[in-house]
């Protein structure tokens, strides 16, 4: 892709949680001007999490109605005002009008028509509206299966999106196959990792949230939500004999029973730079996901991070974890999961698993970004017509 081509990226809030798209963009920033559009996709509900998140978005809108400028470590960030529903045609027309009205002037002011990259189906109605050179769908999850989202509406928008974009890139074979069943071939780009970051003993020490916890520590980091298998975590807490199960990450409506289990602590999220220190304190790293349609589609960002720490890893047997079966222990039932964790607490990382992890050296985010850049700019870019933002009807 020519270095002068800007990127317009629609994704999760920049810097709020690490994501694959943010990792890729960090490697592209030296060569491309990037405008990152913070978006919303979850409809409001009457609960504490929604109130907190709603407060965050309102503060963003009030504080930065236009754009925060670019920095050495990040892109230019936009916080456009959005209507937080997408179910009806009126909802979609309102969001199209709001986004086109706010983003159109920004896009037209760029030095060249940008390539628009979206990780979310909710921008399907902007195709043919914003004056961009081409559209790329970077499919990172099946959001139609996520708890708390309007799955039917997201599926309709995704089908519209995949048939209208110029390029489709999927992060897992499951997602690639699903897109293929929609009639659209997709390129496969699995997640990367920065091995040196996770093996660096010079990174910050253990977080204060671990003080006073009984060892050994069995640690998970990621979103704590309904994808977690409560039966596995309960069995871990009951059968470890000693120690603590630590679930680090933001809470997104998890099963209340999960947070009431004895010997389980869920202190909330930690900054990314503290996670290597957290891993060093762990005896075993775990991914206790339930076997669900949504987890069969995921490509967990943490998987290769776990492997790069040099710690034993026990994970649910899922399509995303199976290709790394020689590097970790897979389990199907709570009994198998606990037996594997207890074994690794006593034995540590087996030599054969450590050697198998050597292939992580070919999975760096820099290498992934080069492939992404090549595919995103695969075709010659043409200056599009500059459409007028549609009126709300």
Quick one: pLDDT at residue 393? 33
Quick one: pLDDT at residue 41? 85
Mean pLDDT over 95-103 rounds to 97
Structural domain contains residue 120? yes
Lowest mean pLDDT among 81-95, 149-163, 202-216: 202-216
Residues 216, 352, single domain; the answer is yes
Q: How far apart are CA 354 and CA 261, in angstroms?
A: 32
Question: Residue 254 maps to which CATH number?
Answer: 3.40.50.2000
Residues 160, 220, single domain; the answer is no
Lowest mean pLDDT among 153-162, 198-207, 230-239: 198-207
Q: How confident is the model at residue 67 (pLDDT cuts 50, 70, 90)?
A: very low
Q: In what order do the strands lie in the sheet with 217-221?
A: 264-268, 244-248, 217-221, 284-287, 313-316, 329-331
Backbone φ, ψ for residue 178 (5° rounding) = -65, -40
Residues 72, 221, single domain; the answer is no
Structural domain contains residue 390? no
Tell me: pLDDT of 218 over 70: yes
User: What residues contact 62, with CB distance under 8 A and at least 6 apart?
Assistant: none
Structural domain contains residue 130? yes
Quick one: pLDDT at residue 17? 82
Quick one: pLDDT at residue 205? 80
User: In 172-263, which ranges are E strands?
Assistant: 187-188, 217-221, 224-225, 244-248, 251-252
Residues 188, 202, single domain; the answer is no
Structural domain contains residue 346? yes
Nearest to 133 by CA among 389, 375, 377: 377
Residues 239, 273, single domain; the answer is yes
Residue ranges making up the domain that contains 28: 7-192+366-376
Q: How far apart are CA 79 and CA 61, in angstroms?
A: 6
Give the distance between the most distant pair of CA atoms in the chain: 67
The total number of structural domains that make up the chain: 2
Q: How confident is the model at residue 375 (pLDDT cuts 50, 70, 90)?
A: very high
Q: How far apart are CA 179 and CA 137, in angstroms?
A: 11
Structural domain contains residue 307? yes
Residues 95, 205, single domain; the answer is no
Residues 79, 205, single domain; the answer is no
Q: How far apart are CA 158 and CA 127, in angstroms?
A: 12
Structural domain contains residue 113? yes
């Amino acid at each position: 892709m020519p270095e002068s081509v800007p990127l317009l990226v629609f994704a999760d809030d920049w810097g709020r949680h690490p994501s694959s798209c943010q990792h890729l963009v960090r490697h592209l920033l030296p060569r491309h001007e990037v405008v990152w559009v913070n978006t919303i996709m979850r409809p409001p509900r009457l609960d504490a999490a929604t109130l907190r998140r709603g407060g965050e978005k309102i503060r963003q809108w009030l504080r930065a109605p236009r754009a925060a400028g670019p920095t050495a470590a990040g892109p230019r960030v936009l916080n456009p005002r959005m209507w937080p529903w997408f179910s009806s045609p009126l909802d979609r027309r309102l969001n199209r009008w709001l986004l086109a009205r706010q983003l159109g002037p920004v896009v037209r002011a760029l030095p060249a028509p940008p390539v628009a990259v979206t990780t979310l189906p909710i921008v399907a109605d902007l195709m043919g509206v914003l004056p961009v050179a081409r559209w790329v769908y970077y499919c990172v999850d099946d959001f139609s299966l996520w708890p708390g989202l309007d799955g039917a509406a997201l599926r309709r928008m995704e089908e519209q999106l995949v048939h209208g974009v110029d390029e489709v890139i999927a992060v897992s074979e499951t997602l690639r196959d699903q897109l293929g069943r929609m009639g659209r071939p997709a390129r496969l780009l699995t997640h990367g990792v920065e091995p040196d970051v996770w093996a660096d003993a010079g990174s910050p020490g253990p977080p204060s949230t671990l003080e006073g916890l009984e060892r050994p520590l069995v640690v998970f980091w990621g979103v704590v939500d309904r994808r977690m298998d409560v039966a596995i975590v309960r069995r871990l807490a009951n059968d470890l004999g000693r120690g603590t199960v630590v679930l680090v990450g933001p809470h997104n409506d998890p099963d209340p029973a999960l947070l009431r289990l004895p010997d389980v602590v869920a202190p909330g999220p930690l900054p990314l730079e503290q996670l290597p220190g957290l891993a060093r304190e762990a005896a075993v790293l775990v991914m206790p996901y339930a076997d669900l349609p949504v987890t069969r589609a995921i490509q967990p960002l943490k998987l290769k991070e776990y492997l790069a720490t040099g710690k034993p890893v026990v994970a649910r047997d899922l399509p995303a974890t199976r290709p790394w079966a020689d590097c970790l222990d897979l389990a199907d039932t709570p009994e198998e999961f606990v037996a594997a964790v207890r074994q690794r607490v006593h034995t540590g990382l087996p030599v054969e698993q450590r050697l198998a992890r050597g292939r992580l050296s070919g999975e760096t985010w820099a290498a992934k970004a080069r492939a992404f850049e090549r595919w995103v700019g695969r075709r010659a870019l043409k200056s599009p017509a500059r459409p007028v933002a549609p009126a709300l009807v």
